[in-house]
Chain A
Amino acid sequence: MRRFEWLRGTTASAVLGAAVLGMFGGGEAAAQGKQLTLCWAAWDPANALVELGKDFTKQSGIEMKYEFVPWTSYADRFLNELNSHGKLCDLLIGDSQWIGGAAENKWYVKLNDFFDKEHISMDDFVPATVVGYSEWPKNSPNYWALPAMADAVGWTYRKDWFSRSDIQSAFKAKYGRDLAPPKTYDELKQIAEFFQGREIDGKKVYGAYIFTERGSEGISMGVTNVLYNYGFNYENPKKPYQMQGFVNSADAAKGLEAYKELYKCCTAPGLTNAYMQEGLDAFKSGQVAMQMNWFAFFPGLYKDPNVGGDKIGFFVNPAGPKGHFTQLGGQGISVVATSDHKEDALAYIKWFAQPAVQQKWWQLGGYSALKAVVNAPDFPKSAAFAPQFLESMGIVKDFWAEPSYAQLLLDMQKRVHDYVVADKGTAQQALDLLVKDWTKVFKEQGKEVASQ
């Protein structure tokens, strides 16, 4: 029996240890045993949310558990979860395009009554985020989410390269103007061409990084930044779902050609299937002069020891001949209808909506959509990219948010990638085919689609 003495001693110590931890370490949460699972994408702002969530646990005693999924499988994973009425997530920070399907399929809890009861007003949030993340039908006071993470496409550039006198004079000699962050897509292309293949510090660099990913949403989220500014519209503003002449207008085709020209002339080789992470890698490794990416990554880039700080600058998506817009990103936070902890989940949303919490959210690296935070006088000075973010949020446009958005998005992925990367057909043909695809989807959805 002597050989089991150690086991008995160890067990006793473990039990005692657990009891002590329970008394002093578990706190209120352990005592109540309440837990909420929050689902989102695995990226920089998610880490900030974990940090922020510790305050909620302290105050409410509700333990927070997180389920973060990489962007490439984020939609598949969580839409599958919602479709199958799973109970994995109590709270879901779902993509803006999901709102139509989530509302129509009753995957999310409608929040109007809760907002009224808790005096949470949507007027307190940036209008674009309310329309983009919360409302369905769009522009109607039916709320299914609280704007949680404001985001849009923006650009970073190598400020240190732009400010070098030798580079500046070479640029001026070639183009007859100063080298500065571009205001239009024509200027952006010139700058990208100027840097493409140039040697800087003994290293060959490339002009621009743009989204080209095929599998999920990448190339569509990139190309729309050019399309919008060249005159592309999803539908006739006066006749919903009438796409002929709006999606495939001559101007829209010019926009698509412009994106392809930028891809062909000025991107690094091999970036044929690249999205957010590849862009970050290209920029951090000093390969590119300018990078298209989501604002959500900019706090991390600014902190980067190699390319951050004084070396990095930010600019708003450049304008085109027909307008100045940028692609909306970001998400709202919703309560999943199948959750067994709806009350606790609503308590989280109530806590998250508080101005002080929103302020801390911005400080930690999240992007608040609360007007009290972003319209504060000192906001533009609070981060190097804050002015550009603020400007971008005023010019955002979003992709379809219809229940059939996934089909619409994948059709666009195919048609755009076929034209831009695989050199198939012309821009006009690609957009004509897109109209055909989208018409079929909307008809399946039971919508009336006028051809003219």
Chain B
Amino acid sequence: MSTILHPDQAAIAVVGEPAKSRSAKRVRGLSDRTIAWLFVTPTIALLLAINIFPLIWMIRLSFTNLNLSMSYLPLRFVGLDNFSDILSDEDVWIRLQSTAQFVIWSVALQVVIGYGLALLINRQFRGHSFWTTIILLPMMLSPAVVGNFWTLLFQPQIGPFNSLISLFTGMPPSSFSMTGEVALAPWTIVLVDTWMWTPYVMLICLAGLRSIPDYIYEAAEVDRASAWRQFWSITLPMTVPFLMLAVLFRAIENFKMFDMVNLLTSGGPGSTTELVSITLKRAAFEKWRTGYSSALAIILFVTVFGAANIYVKALNKVKQR
């Protein structure tokens, strides 16, 4: 009959009697380290298979001329040609500018409105839970649903959005198209993204506001600090790390934005709202330029990764202050 030792007992045994410890390990069959590896190995294998291997494969493909619609052509190593093609392509730079403008405007609006909503929701008032749930609803919807839903709302002839604008401005509802006009379409995608993701920023800000201890405000009141002074000297500085976190999350997400914009405008009119993710999708899965699109994906990955790293360092500095 074998004896099964509790880990604590095994630890005592190690200190007291080394020989007995070794036999205890043998009795258990597997060491803690082995068991840990057994648990971790499937996850690592999965990670390698679905993340690391494709990444390495993509890096390899980015140096080739592979085009899946012409896979009968011999695969050639083209060095940095794909990268230089992309970086010297004026269209790609225009797409990157459009993406940057979309990210900056949508994140800025989400942060301002989200923070304002968090300040409101942080107070106790009648119907607090109801209004919180209502505000959170848009972020619970799928981007595909949001895209289709807003497409209908923006329909010039029957869409309620145009009718509403018409009510306030007197313009005929069908005299403008939110998704079809060069001047309006970029703002349309900013508007819809802000509508959908402001609640998310609000939640992060709310967590920040709730983390400020009450005694700080009590001390400020003893010092007769005005509400404005309390906001500038306590609330804002103590929630800045949370705001920065929200900016980081939203900026990364919006840099990758595809589904909602694709449904709303398909990148149009012309190429006005063609974000870089749509360019990437078209190159990879419509034009089948696998080598070129792999290089573009790497450039985007490095850009986002680099920017996020710089930002995280700044965030850590703010937290240490």
Contact = CB atoms under 8 A, between A and B. Distances in A.
B70 A101 contact: yes
Interface in A396-433: 403-407, 410, 414, 417-419, 421-424
A270 B174 contact: yes
A411 B271 CA distance: 11
Contact of B288 (A79, A287, A422): A79
A403 B69 contact: yes
A446 B65 CA distance: 12
B69 A101 contact: yes
A269 interface: yes
A273 B180 contact: yes
Given A215-B267, A272-B269, A444-B65, A406 B182 contact: no
Nearest to B85: A440
Contacts of A269: 156-157, 174-177
A445 interface: yes
Contacts of A404: 67, 69-70
Interface string B115-156: 000000000000000000000000000000000000000011
B269 A214 contact: yes
Contacts of A213: 266
B235 interface: no
Contacts of A105: 69-72
Contacts of B282: 410
B180 A214 contact: no
A32 interface: no
A273 B182 contact: no
Interface string B236-280: 000000000000000000000000001001111111100000000
A211 B198 CA distance: 36
Nearest to A417: B270
A288 to B, nearest CB: 12
B287 interface: yes
A383 B72 CA distance: 44
A268 B173 CA distance: 12
A452 B272 CA distance: 33
A124 interface: no
Contacts of B181: 272
Contacts of A273: 179-180, 265-266, 268-269
A89 B272 CA distance: 37
A104 B268 contact: no
Interface string A233-273: 00000000000000000000000000000000000111111
A104 B73 CA distance: 9
Size bracket of the B interface: 20 to 34
B270 A407 contact: no
Contacts of B72: 104-106, 403
Interface in B37-90: 65, 67-73
- Among B65, B179, B268, the most chain A Cβ lie within 10 Å of the Cβ of B268
- Judged by DSSP, the binding face of B is loop
A404 B72 CA distance: 12
Given A273-B265, A445-B70, A268 B157 contact: yes
A424 B270 contact: yes
A319 B212 CA distance: 74
A444 B67 contact: yes
B285 interface: yes
Nearest to B270: A422
A80 B67 CA distance: 12
Interface in B166-194: 174-177, 179-182
A106 B72 CA distance: 9
Contacts of B285: 76, 80
Interface in A49-96: 75-76, 79-80, 83
Given A80-B285, A105-B72, A272-B180, A421 B156 contact: no
A214 B268 contact: yes
B8 interface: no
Contacts of A406: 69, 286-288
A423 to B, nearest CB: 7
Nearest to A403: B70
Contacts of B73: 445-446
Given A104-B72, A403-B69, A445-B70, A414 B177 contact: no
A83 B286 contact: no
Contacts of A270: 155-157, 174, 177, 179-180
B70 A421 contact: no
A182 B72 CA distance: 46
A83 B270 contact: no
A83 B65 CA distance: 16
A213 B268 CA distance: 9
B181 to A, nearest CB: 8
- Among A101, A269, A410, A423, the most chain B Cβ lie within 10 Å of the Cβ of A269
B35 to A, nearest CB: 39
A239 B1 CA distance: 91
Contacts of A80: 285
A405 B269 CA distance: 23
A215 B151 CA distance: 15
Contacts of A423: 182
Contacts of B70: 101, 104-105, 403-404, 445
A166 to B, nearest CB: 25
B69 A417 contact: no
Contacts of A106: 72
B89 to A, nearest CB: 11
B288 to A, nearest CB: 6
B157 A215 contact: no
A287 B269 CA distance: 23
- Among A270, A403, A424, the most chain B Cβ lie within 10 Å of the Cβ of A270
Contacts of A101: 69-70
Nearest to A430: B270
A359 to B, nearest CB: 37
A92 to B, nearest CB: 16
Nearest to B182: A422
A377 to B, nearest CB: 44
15 contacts: A214-B267, A214-B270, A215-B267, A268-B174, A270-B180, A273-B266, A273-B269, A406-B286, A407-B287, A410-B286, A417-B270, A417-B271, A421-B180, A422-B269, A422-B271
Given A268-B157, A269-B174, 10 more contacts: A76-B286, A83-B71, A104-B72, A215-B262, A269-B177, A270-B156, A272-B177, A287-B157, A410-B286, A422-B271
The 3 closest A-B pairs by CB, nearest first: A422-B270, A272-B180, A270-B156
Interface of B: 65, 67-73, 155-157, 174-177, 179-182, 262, 265-272, 282, 285-289
